[in-house]
Amino acid sequence: MKIFSEELVAKAVKESHIADLSQATIGEVLLVAQYLERETGIPFIRMDQGSPGLPVNRFGVEAEKAALDRGVGSQYPAAAGVPELKSEASRFVKAFLNVDISARACVPTVGSVAGSFGAFIACTQRIPEKNKVLFIDPGFPIQKSQLRVIGADWVEFDIYHHRGKALRAKLEQMLAAGDIAAIVYSNPNNPAWICLEDEELKIIGELATEHDVIVIEDLAYFCMDFRQDLGHPFEPPYPPTVAHYTDNYILMLSSSKIFSYAGQRMALTCISDKLFDRQFPALAARYKDAGVFGQTLIASILYMITSGCTASTQYAYAEMLRLATDGEINFVEDTREYAVRAERMKKIFTDNGFHIVYDSDVTQKVGDGFFFTIGYGKMSGGELLKELLYYGVSSISLSTTGSEQQGVRACTSRMREDLYEVMESRIKAFNEDHPLD
């Protein structure tokens, strides 16, 4: 039995000014869910927005308070970032990725969204004939919206049928025209939670070097592949990264998920030293500077977007990174709760006729974590999104993430202990109302 009537959902869609519910963005689904909760008082099972669902890291809070008490709020922060954060970022990357990046090439940004926005600008302008971005999908829809803002084109493909060695042929096909400026993906992946393995990252790195393409590796869910015992500083195993296979890379490290510090909008754009120092005549001509990639990105692009990052938050991030690198806090164990939630939520769905869409990596079953993907019979992703709303469960269609598979993305972050029984009853009702052949 449906929780919300079709008429009420239609009213919510109309009053929220949503053109097509089946293709609704995260923000639009959020509006519908909030409307229905407000009108009825019935709580939703919120699987739409990927907002952290764990307590904020208290060490960051205390460090930020101390920075404000020292008076840092009275001065503009340097565009390149405060020295303490840059230094700790360099140490953190070495400790947890076994990658050497100098402090000068670790640049704070106002969340990874600002980092990718600035990186897209620099990458698509550095060589005139290289003006497109290649997305290894599924991926984060906002990044394509950023390209719309700057007027840059992109191409994309769903990696579902191109895992392992098959990835090389697909990438070579996509890079053959010579117009690709950058390759973008997240690892672990938003929304599928698949993880690119070393074999695949080696292929990406080798082809990036061969075709002079910059790889933008989004590590928002850093060390959250809970199938491995990650997160021990200066000890293997390390998370796989393209940085071991090319010098053409930008790593994006966010404080939002690993430290639950999302509200303060703080991330790092860590650039290969060789790329940081490369000089591009096209950048020099456009920005009337030396055209050195790293300095142009900092002073002529990122500064124009945000004028630097909040100083006190930089000190907070620096302290959290320091404590992690020194082994005084274990951010991986702090976030393992997401895997526990995913396992329980997946079981409720699969016990009631649903299937996991992106269910495996190259060599092993996909792990449990912040996101997972589900499908139901022959329903399209848009149909499933809409039908689940009637049962008080919100999600987003995989089609909005560049996926060619049918299903929706589920986020674990907002799940609470008291909601599992509610969720189970609703999904059971959904299954009863939608019998599978």
Burial per residue of 151-182, b for 16 or more beta-carbon CB atoms within 10 angstroms, e otherwise: ebebebbbbeebbeeebbebbeebbeeeebbb
The predicted model scores a pTM of 0.96
Instruction: Residue 254: name the closest of 263, 262, 243, 246 by CA.
Output: 262
Instruction: Residue 295: name the closest of 324, 275, 316 by CA.
Output: 275
Q: What whole-number distance in Å separates Cα of residue 5 and Cα of residue 2?
A: 7
Q: What is the pLDDT of residue 176?
A: 97
Q: What is the CATH number of domain 6-54+334-433?
A: 3.90.1150.100
Q: What is the CATH number of domain 74-325?
A: 3.40.640.10
Provide the β-strand partners of residue 371.
411
Each residue's pLDDT tens digit, 159-210: 999 999 999 999 999 999 999 999 999 999 999 999 999 999 999 999 999 9
Q: How confident is the model at residue 25 (pLDDT cuts 50, 70, 90)?
A: confident
Q: What is the pLDDT of residue 210?
A: 98
**Higher pLDDT among residues 174 and 32, named by residue:** 174
For residue 202, the one-letter residue type is K
Strands 132-137 and 153-158: parallel
> What are the sequence ranges of the domains in the chain?
6-54+334-433, 74-325
Residue with tokens 């392992």: 164
Residues of the chain with pLDDT > 70, as a percent, come to 100
Phi–psi pair at 428, nearest 5 degrees? -65, -40
pLDDT at 73 over 90: yes
Q: What is the pLDDT of residue 313?
A: 98
Q: What is the pLDDT of residue 173?
A: 98
C-alpha separations of 136 from 56, 418, 428 in Å: 31, 37, 35
- Measured over the CA atoms of residue 124, residue 127, residue 132 and residue 135, the dihedral's sign is negative
Q: How confident is the model at residue 50 (pLDDT cuts 50, 70, 90)?
A: confident
The three state secondary structure string of the chain is CCCCCHHHHHHHHHHCCCCCHHHCCHHHHHHHHHHHHHHHCCCCEECCCCCCCCCCCHHHHHHHHHHHHCCHHHCCCCCCCCHHHHHHHHHHHHHHHCCCCCHHHEEEECHHHHHHHHHHHHHHHCCCCCCEEEEEECCCHHHHHHHHHHCCEEEEEEHHHCCCCHHHHHHHHHHCCCCEEEEEEECCCCCCCCCCCHHHHHHHHHHHHHHCCEEEEECCCCCCCCCCCCCCCCCCCCCCCHHHCCCCEEEEEECCCCCCCHHHCCEEEEECHHHHHCECHHHHHHHCCCCEHHHHHHHHHHHHHHCCCCHHHHHHHHHHHHHHHCCCCCHHHHHCHHHHHHHHHHHHHHCCCEEECCCECCCCECCCCCEEEEEECCCCHHHHHHHHHHCCEECEEHHHHCCCCCCEEEECCCCCHHHHHHHHHHHHHHHHHCCCC
The full length of the chain comes to 437
Please compute, for residue 138, the number of CA atoms within 13 A of its CA located in the half-sphere on the CB side. 26
Instruction: Residue 186: name the closest of 371, 406, 324, 394 by CA.
Output: 371
Asked whether 318 and 83 are in contact (CB, 8 A), the reply is no
CB-based contacts of 221, cutoff 8 Å, min separation 6:
186, 188, 190, 257, 258, 369, 370
Q: Classify burial at 190, counting beta carbons within 10 Å of its beta carbon; exposed 0-12, middle 13-18, buried 19 or more.
A: buried
- How far does the chain reach from its first CA to its final CA, in angstroms? 19
Each residue's pLDDT tens digit, 240-289: 999 999 999 999 999 999 999 999 999 999 999 999 999 999 999 999 99
